[in-house]
Structure 1
Amino acid sequence: MEEDKNFKDLGICEQLAEACDNLGWKIPTKIQAEAIPHALEGKDLIGLAQTGSGKTGAFALPILQSLLESPQAFFACVLSPTRELAIQIAEHFEALGACIGVKCAVLVGGIDRVQQTNNLANRPHIIVGTPGRLVDHLSNTKGFSLRTLKYLVLDEADRLLNEDFEKPINEILNVIPRERRTYLFSATMTSKVKKLQRACLRNPVKIEAASKYSTVDTLKQQFCLLPAKYKECYLVYILTEMSGCTSMVFTRTCDATLFLAMMLRHLGLRAIPINGKMTQSKRSGALNQFKAGECNILICTDVASRGLDIELVDMVINYDIPTSYKLYNHRVGRTARAGRSGVAVSLVNQYEWEWFVQIENDIGRQHMPFVW
Structure 2
Amino acid sequence: MRRPKPHRSTSFRKERRLYEAEEIELLDSWIEALKPDSGTNPLAFPAPPPNAAVGRLADGRFSPYAGSKLFSQLPISKKTKDGLSPKYKEMSEIQRASLPHSLCGRDILGAAKTGSGKTLAFIIPVIEKLYRARWSAEDGVGSIIISPTKELAGQIFEELKRVGKYHSLSAGLLVGGRKDVDAEKERVNALNILVCTPGRLLQHMDETPNFDCSQLQVLVLDEADRILDQGFRDQVDAIVSQLPKIRQTMLFSATQTKSVKDLARVSLKNPEYISVHAESITATPERLKQLVMYVPLDQKLNVLWSFIKGHLNSKILVFLSSCKQVRFVNEVFKKLRPGIPLKCLHGRMKQNIRMAVYSEFCESTSVLFSTDVASRGLDFPAVDWVVQVDCPEDIPAYIHRVGRTARFTSEGKSLLFLSPSEEKMLTKLQAAEPKIPVRLQKLREGKLEQISGQVSSLLVKYPEMQQLAKRAFITYLKSVHLQKDKDVFDVNALPIEGFAASLGLVVIPKIRFLSQKRKGHKAVVEVRHTQEDGVENESEVVQRRSTKFELPNEELEDDILLPKESAKGEEGNKVAELATRLLKKKKLKINVHRPAGTRVKYDDEGNVIPPLAAIADADSRDTVLRPEKVKERYEKLREEMKEQDKEDKLLQRQRLREKRKKEKMKLRRPRDEVEEVDSDSGPSELDEAENGASKRSKVYFDNESEDDGKGKKRAVLSTDSISLAEQEALALKLLSSMHS
Same fold per TM (> 0.5)?
Answer: yes
> CA contact under 8 A between 2:378 and 2:404: conserved in structure 1?
yes
Percent identical among aligned pairs is 32
Report deviation, 1:366. 4.2
Partner letter of residue 306 of structure 1?
Answer: R
Q: 2:392 is matched with which residue?
A: 322
Report deviation, 1:118. 3.8
Indicate which of 278, 284, 294 corresponds to 1:215. Answer: 284
- List aligned pairs for 1:173-212, cutoff 5 A: 173-190=240-257, 192=259, 194-199=260-265, 200-211=267-278
> Residue by residue, what CA displacement relative to the aligned partner does 1:309-364 show, whole Å, maximum 9, x if unpaired?
12111110011111200100000000000121100111222232222332332253
User: Is 1:126 matched with 2:198?
Assistant: no
Please list every run of 5 or more consecutive structure 1 residues that lacks an aligned counterpart in the other structure: none
> Residue by residue, what CA displacement relative to the aligned partner does 1:189-213 show, whole Å, maximum 9, x if unpaired?
4354x32323411121111122397
Partner letter of residue 325 of structure 2?
Answer: A
Partner letter of residue 7 of structure 1?
Answer: F
Q: 2:370 is matched with which residue?
A: 300
Indicate which of 105, 111, 134 corresponds to 1:42. Answer: 105
Report deviation, 1:102. 3.4
> Residue by residue, what CA displacement relative to the aligned partner does 1:155-209 show, whole Å, maximum 9, x if unpaired?
11111112231122112212111121111112234354x3232341112111112
Indicate which of 98, 117, 127 corresponds to 1:54. Answer: 117
> CA contact under 8 A between 1:106 and 1:116: conserved in structure 2?
no
Partner letter of residue 106 of structure 2?
Answer: K
User: Is 1:161 matched with 2:244?
Assistant: no
Partner letter of residue 11 of structure 1?
Answer: P
> CA contact under 8 A between 2:110 and 2:256: conserved in structure 1?
no
Partner letter of residue 126 of structure 2?
Answer: I
Q: Please identify, of 321-330 and 5-14, the stretch whose mean Cα deviation from structure 2 is larger.
A: 5-14
> Residue by residue, what CA displacement relative to the aligned partner does 1:263-299 show, whole Å, maximum 9, x if unpaired?
2222233111111112222211211221121x61110
Q: 1:140 is matched with which residue?
A: 207
Partner letter of residue 261 of structure 2?
Answer: K
Separation in structure 2 between the aligned mates of residue 86 and residue 51 of structure 1, nearest angstrom = 16
SS of equivalent to 1:165: helix
> CA contact under 8 A between 1:94 and 1:102: conserved in structure 2?
no
SS of equivalent to 2:286: coil
What value does the CA root-mean-square deviation take over the aligned residues?
2.0
Q: Please identify, of 210-219 and 140-149, the stretch whose mean Cα deviation from structure 2 is larger.
A: 210-219
Separation in structure 2 between the aligned mates of residue 206 and residue 306 of structure 1, nearest angstrom = 21
Indicate which of 415, 419, 430 corresponds to 1:349. Answer: 419
> CA contact under 8 A between 2:68 and 2:96: conserved in structure 1?
no
Normalising by structure 1, we get a TM-score of 0.93
> CA contact under 8 A between 1:321 and 1:356: conserved in structure 2?
no
> CA contact under 8 A between 2:141 and 2:191: conserved in structure 1?
yes
Q: 1:20 is matched with which residue?
A: 84
> CA contact under 8 A between 1:81 and 1:130: conserved in structure 2?
yes
User: Is 1:240 matched with 2:309?
Assistant: yes
Partner letter of residue 63 of structure 1?
Answer: V
Count of matched residue positions in the alignment of Structure 1 and Structure 2: 368
Separation in structure 2 between the aligned mates of residue 170 and residue 225 of structure 1, nearest angstrom = 42
Report deviation, 1:120. 1.2
Partner letter of residue 149 of structure 2?
Answer: T
Indicate which of 293, 314, 325 corresponds to 1:256. Answer: 325
Normalising by structure 2, we get a TM-score of 0.48
Report deviation, 1:139. 1.1
Q: 1:65 is matched with which residue?
A: 128
Partner letter of residue 228 of structure 1?
Answer: L
Specify whether residues 63 and 191 from structure 1 end up closer, same or farther in structure 2 by C-alpha distance, changes over 3 A only. closer
Q: 2:436 is matched with which residue?
A: 365
Separation in structure 2 between the aligned mates of residue 5 and residue 83 of structure 1, nearest angstrom = 32
> CA contact under 8 A between 1:323 and 1:355: conserved in structure 2?
no
Report deviation, 1:223. 1.8
SS of equivalent to 2:172: strand
> Residue by residue, what CA displacement relative to the aligned partner does 1:228-282 show, whole Å, maximum 9, x if unpaired?
2221121122222221111110001111111121222222331111111122222
> CA contact under 8 A between 2:283 and 2:436: conserved in structure 1?
no
Partner letter of residue 120 of structure 1?
Answer: V
- List aligned pairs for 1:71-82, cutoff 5 A: 71-72=135-136, 73-82=140-149
User: Is 1:285 matched with 2:353?
Assistant: no
> Residue by residue, what CA displacement relative to the aligned partner does 1:2-46 show, whole Å, maximum 9, x if unpaired?
677201112222221222223x22211111011111111111111
Partner letter of residue 283 of structure 1?
Answer: R
Q: Please identify, of 66-75 and 252-261, the stretch whose mean Cα deviation from structure 2 is larger.
A: 66-75
Partner letter of residue 98 of structure 1?
Answer: K
Indicate which of 91, 97, 110 corresponds to 2:164. Answer: 97
SS of equivalent to 2:274: strand
Indicate which of 115, 138, 148 corresponds to 2:183. Answer: 115
Q: 2:344 is matched with which residue?
A: 273
Q: Please identify, of 62-71 and 204-213, the stretch whose mean Cα deviation from structure 2 is larger.
A: 204-213
SS of equivalent to 2:237: helix
Report deviation, 1:56. 0.9
Partner letter of residue 56 of structure 1?
Answer: T
Task: Flag the structure with more relative contact order, 1 or 2, with Cα contacts below 8 A and sequence separation at least 6.
Answer: 1
Separation in structure 1 between the aligned mates of residue 187 and residue 329 of structure 2, nearest angstrom = 38
> CA contact under 8 A between 1:74 and 1:125: conserved in structure 2?
yes
Specify whether residues 87 and 118 from structure 1 end up closer, same or farther in structure 2 by C-alpha distance, changes over 3 A only. farther
Q: Please identify, of 323-332 and 346-355, the stretch whose mean Cα deviation from structure 2 is larger.
A: 346-355
Report deviation, 1:370. 4.1
SS of equivalent to 1:8: helix
> CA contact under 8 A between 2:429 and 2:438: conserved in structure 1?
no
Partner letter of residue 329 of structure 1?
Answer: I
> CA contact under 8 A between 1:360 and 1:366: conserved in structure 2?
yes
Specify whether residues 291 and 366 from structure 1 end up closer, same or farther in structure 2 by C-alpha distance, changes over 3 A only. closer
